[in-house]
Amino acid sequence: MDERRNGIRFESPFCTCVNCFDKESPQEILGVIKDISYSGVRLRLDTPLQLLPANLIALSIIFPENTLEVSGKVVWVNRDKKEVGVCFLNLSDYSKQTIYDNIFKYFRKQFTQRWWSPT
């Protein structure tokens, strides 16, 4: 997979709910976050959405102890795998801290290996 994200990716099986802002046919679907960084996520959806690159969406990232509401823009779609890449829009410091806290808490080993491993 070509690297398109600026941040370090962390594999994470957090659940998510995706809402598309399409006025003609609003859509909502559940999915799983395959990986996450401060700049975006790769999602695997339960069923295909009619999403296109540049569509604006709202994500509810369901962490074990809280839910984070963020907005994003679709940057790529793989209909065969039911996957989409999303770039976060205007991610607040609170949202970044919430992502960090959950990755560190539930994926500490992966976090430490990625952060401190020599390149």
Q: Which domains does the chain have, with CATH numbers?
A: 10-112 (2.40.10.220)
The model carries a pTM of 0.79
Spell 32-46 as b/e; 16+ CB within 10 A means b: ebbbbbbbbbbbebe
Per residue in 38-53, pLDDT (tens digit) is 889 999 998 877 788 8
Res 22: pLDDT: 63
Task: List the one residue out of 72, 75, 52 whose CA is nearest residue 5.
Answer: 75
- Please give the pLDDT value at position 70: 95
